[in-house]
Amino acid sequence: MLKSEKIKNKIRNEVYLDENEIIGKLLQESYLSSKQKTSIKRIATHLISECRLEKSKHSMLDAFLMEFGLSNQEGVALMCIAESLLRVPDKLTADRLIAEKIKSGDWLTHLGNSKSIFVNASTWGLMLTGYVVELDDAIQTSTSSWLKRFSSKLGEPIIRKAVSKAMKIMANQYVIGQTIDKALKSKTASDVFSYDMLGEGSRTETDSIRYFNSYKNAIERIGVTSNQNESVILNDGISVKLSALHNRYEAKQETSIFTKLYPRIKTLCLLAKNYNIGLTIDAEESERLDLAMAIFERLASERELRNWNGLGFVLQAYLKRASKVIDWLNALAIETQSYFMVRLVKGAYWDTEIKRAQEKGLKDYPVFTRKENTDICYNHCVYLLSIYQSNLYAQFATHNAYSMALITEIFKEQNFEYQRLHGMGEALHTQMHELKYSKAKTRVYAPVGNHNDLLPYLVRRLLENGANSSFVNRFLDEKEPIYKLTQHPSEKVSKYKSFRNNSIQLPKELFLKSGDGWLNSCGVDSQNLNEIKLIESNYNQMREKQYEAHSLLAGKKICNKSRVQRNPYNSQKIGSWSAATEHDIAKLIKFLNKNKPNQISWPLYERTDALTRLASLIEKNVFELAWLLSIEAGRTIEDALSEIREAADFCRYYTSCATKLVSENQIEETAGGIFLCISPWNFPLAIFVGQVVAALVSGNVVIAKPAEQTPLIAYKAVELFYKSGVPSSVLNLLLADGLTTSKLIDSDLQLSGVAFTGSNSTAYKIQTSIANRSDRVSFIAETGGQNCMVVDSSALPEQVVDDVIISAFSSAGQRCSSLRVLFLQEETADNIIKMLTGALQSLELGDPTHIKTDIGPLIDNNAIEKVNEHIHRMKKDAKLIAKKDITKSQKSKRILSPHIFEIKNINQLKEEIFGPVLHIIRYKQQEIDSVVNQINNTGYFLTLGVHSRIKAFSDFIFKRTRHGNFYLNRNMIGANVGVNPFGGSMLSGTGPKAGGPNYLFGFSKLQMNQDNKITHEKDTNTNFEKITATTNLVHNEIEILSSFQTWRDYSIDERLNTSLIYKTSYTQIKRIKSLIELPIELSSPTGEANSLSYEPRGIIIFIPSNEMKEKIIIKNISTALICGCAIVLISNKKTFGLCSKIIEDFDLKDRELQLVSHYDLSQLQFLLKNKYLQNVLIEESHVKLKYIEQEFSQCCHGILNIINPIESLGQINLNWLMGLVIERTKTENLVASGGNTQLFNLN
């Protein structure tokens, strides 16, 4: 094996090296003498001092960054404007963007601070703008009246033009020209450049070809000016991003990359060689390093490229394996008799690397967590390049005086060059040459492109250099002592207790910092070539394996007539299973009813220990579980790995929650019930495990009933439950069809509750079965969603396309959270639709056991038929935008062509379509109320996404909707346990949210009442047919609906600032506010914010019993009103007078709101048919309860929510309040609004 191959293998194996160990070794390196260290400090000090004196040479951006860094709100506001303003096509959105971001800053504090005319002029402009767009009164009154009068004469169009101009001025500091010809004209004869054709990676094949032609044209134009007789290092060059040449530049698509991308980069290299210029492969994210090295290695071995010294490689020093890459480059140069250019940079994607590792649950970070550690590695790489300079031409990209001084000291007069970014660091590099410390030239990295392409690049540069720790941000600041800037990084690092930054937790420890912390699940990196080979190796070993599954009831395996189980993709036999019979179920019922007290004597500490072990067992069996998910459920490898992590997270999170809730006396240590858990086929492991773990850890006996399509996965999961220590007596696996399962619910089993995830139609059948029982059974349901995303014109189109493709087509659209309807603002709709069409074509459809596959099969023929029927209808009633064609063989393998249609209104969709079909609706900005109404009128409130850089826009939509999961500037799928708990309301389910802090309440003893059978007393009012009723109560809006819609938007304090305050006690108010007033900040990966808030559940039907006292009725009504609900009070003849008196006390005339209405019992039947009424406050022993359940179960407009009235304020706890409120999570991608400033400022 060649030396380079050995080193390359080592590099692949050392992605996640221990940071303490690496830095410890590097600190022991003694490549600098004490004399050299003194010299370096002296040179660096001199450089900084001279730069500070030569103020005329400071760039506009040097001053701008020093004044508006990332540590103040004004800097962040400018980041957001810089990132988005120049691409916004419509004036209204641009005005709103400017108004909001300028309002967020206190510009007066910056006025006159800088010595830059541009910065001060900008500050004045921004300050004036703040007044034009009506800043808060508190800020306005702090300025003299003439300023307000002056600014009020200006208008928003002038402001928009002024701010846009300022952004363009700033942007133009970084870009040398919008075309290569303009760029070439702007350079002088003494300048040496490496041109970069801007663009943040292609999204379509059309993009890739366009970028290729752009590079090709640039090389030809640069080549015309090059000197054929000079060394290639003396000519201008070009930098190429491989992600621009292939829209799927990722390890999973390696075959396609070498088929499509490689010929393109080879062509560009041959062209560059012909013109005697350098071509450098630019650095990208760390997971692409292996691919870049493989492509570089092949290029280096091409005969046609021999005798060309222009092939270059960019190396990022923040990579833990950076020094090994230099060793590899040197070995490769020797083996191929080449001379490579190596550009050493600090690294441009640090925040992305940290975020990805946390989200994927990787072993560690591929990058250093301290900037000083990156500097130590950079310096070590400088030393290595000095050793290897006979084979490698060193190019040092830096704006750091200390780094430049160190390079000068190590390299002396040897052959190398400095590099800097266009628009930055000019003063420092000029001083280096003027002070004659080095004769090495400086090459300028010069971006070429229009403003739209510049924006992401600009933000990345601002992030890198605007942070508190950035040298660029500090070295011109005269308040910053020079000695702090000239310390060797090892001097700083040696003072830390740990070399790695413990403020940035390891991915597995990400959630341990929270009060009820839990270990993050371990992930498999499906973009790592080593781990891809490991996945493929394990899959290949299992291809011939056959599985079997049987019911496991009352501790026994029940083997009945065998049924063949087939792969949904190719119909091949993968195993067999047998279903339980009615006789088996009868024996189980008898066993459970007889032995229930013995089965639930399992202590909490034993339960949590066993279920924590289960998490580890799930992770240990990751490849077999992933294989089963692929061959039985059609899950792609990526989806399967993600689902396995979710299952492990459920185990650890719920055990943590149980321990905390029991210790706080919020739930009992042992609920003591029997729970039936019915899970779906689309998440056959994660949801199955999540339901069962929640029920078990709460102290219940469980009957787990998986979907008929996925019995093998469930059987394997239960084997792991038993192996972890869960007794077979408390966990039963029931393999049966829906009809057989319904008989279990209809039986005399002492059933406590049902946890269900699936379709609305099945949920209604279960609700009917429960209603017909003689006892109370709690029902937790998570059903479907008509999930929408709203995109305004300030959104980044590339990000929108990425998130839409993931949200709509992952798992073949077979997720409850999948995106179904995309609302696009008309100004940007055409462009986004064009990009979506191209991106759709790049998706890989096929065998889910292949790593490259993006979309696998639909689960069965019924699913195929239903989605095809919808597609056929849409082809008649809508406009077909795009579809991905499939082969004849794929049609026979349940692969369905993904489709995108354009429709006029969401009401064209009659139901949720569970497949890869996306619908697009265009809207005008002034029609946003109509958009919100369309979304709300579906009745589904599960997931909702917004893409916008305007906070007010997203806040408006959030406030006007009720969706359980709200996503801002990110995709809408993949809710993480404990991070963004999942679940909705109305047609989308009951709550509490799965994976949330309140989920275990649904399995607690308070939610069950097993000891008391509900008695049916004779009631003369049950025959409602003969009673004359207000039938419009069924279909029309009831009279208090409009008041409720106003009331629910009030804060608790605003609700109490009415006459309601006189009907409440201080203890009552304090208790409610402490539990539900403020959003809960949830644990999050870096660059993301997650919060859980409580909002009113709706209008509550309240039926007091004959014996209920007035003060108890008032207490329950006032509590519901404080929570934002409204009340429909129902009375009979005995309670009519009392209820009539009470509602007068709750008439909020001061706000013209009627929040409590009163109806006679005769109207109940009609009220239950009203879609707005799904909540009933009634005692569980009430004679009407069973009637209500039965009547409501026939309505099919949601799941009934029964709330047991409280008698004392001591009963008010979060568990009880969950009957009056719904949970909503908001997940925001902070990086989209100006970058991950929090991480960059982390010390």
Q: Just list the catalytic residues.
A: 782, 816
Q: Within 13 Å of residue 21, how many CA atoms lie on the same side as its CB?
A: 6
Task: Determine the 3-state secondary structure of 1008 from DSSP.
Answer: coil
1143: its two tokens: 């509602």
Strands 547-549 and 392-397: unpaired
965: its two tokens: 């999961």
The total number of residues shown for the chain amounts to 1243
Which burial class, exposed, middle or buried, applies to 990 when counting CB atoms under 10 A from its CB (0-12, 13-18, 19+)? buried
d(CA 467, CA 473): 7
472: its two tokens: 């660029």
Element (H, E) at 780: strand 778-782
* Residues β-bridged to residue 614: none
- Contact of 488 with 475, CB cutoff 8 Å: no
Q: Where do we find the tokens 């060793």?
A: 327
947: its two tokens: 């893409």
d(CA 616, CA 518): 13
- Helix ranges restricted to H, 810-950: 826-841, 861-877, 888-891, 928-937
The strand ranges marked E within 398-455 are 416-421, 442-448
Task: Select from 1088, 1075, 1077 the least CA-distant residue to 979.
Answer: 1088
Task: Select from 190, 282, 232 the least CA-distant residue to 393.
Answer: 232
Return all residues near 201 (Cβ < 8 A) that are at least 6 apart: 241, 243, 244, 247, 249, 798
For the chain, the distance separating the N- and C-terminal CA atoms, rounded to the nearest angstrom, is 44
Instruction: Sheet with 1080-1082: list strands edge to edge.
Output: 879-883, 899-902, 917-923, 821-825, 788-791, 943-947, 965-968, 1221-1229, 1088-1096, 1080-1082
411: its two tokens: 């390299």
- Residue 554 CB neighbours (<10 A): 18
Q: Is 719 left (phi over 0), alpha (psi -120 to 50) or beta?
A: alpha
Q: Where do we find the tokens 């108004």?
A: 99
Q: Where do we find the tokens 């069409």?
A: 837
Element (H, E) at 1154: strand 1153-1154
d(CA 169, CA 61): 10
d(CA 19, CA 357): 15
111: its two tokens: 């006025």
State the angle between helix axes of 604-620 and 711-724 in degrees (0 to 180), rounded to the nearest 10: 130
d(CA 26, CA 1145): 76
Q: Is 314 left (phi over 0), alpha (psi -120 to 50) or beta?
A: beta
- Contact of 731 with 721, CB cutoff 8 Å: yes
Q: Within 13 Å of residue 110, how many CA atoms lie on the same side as its CB?
A: 27
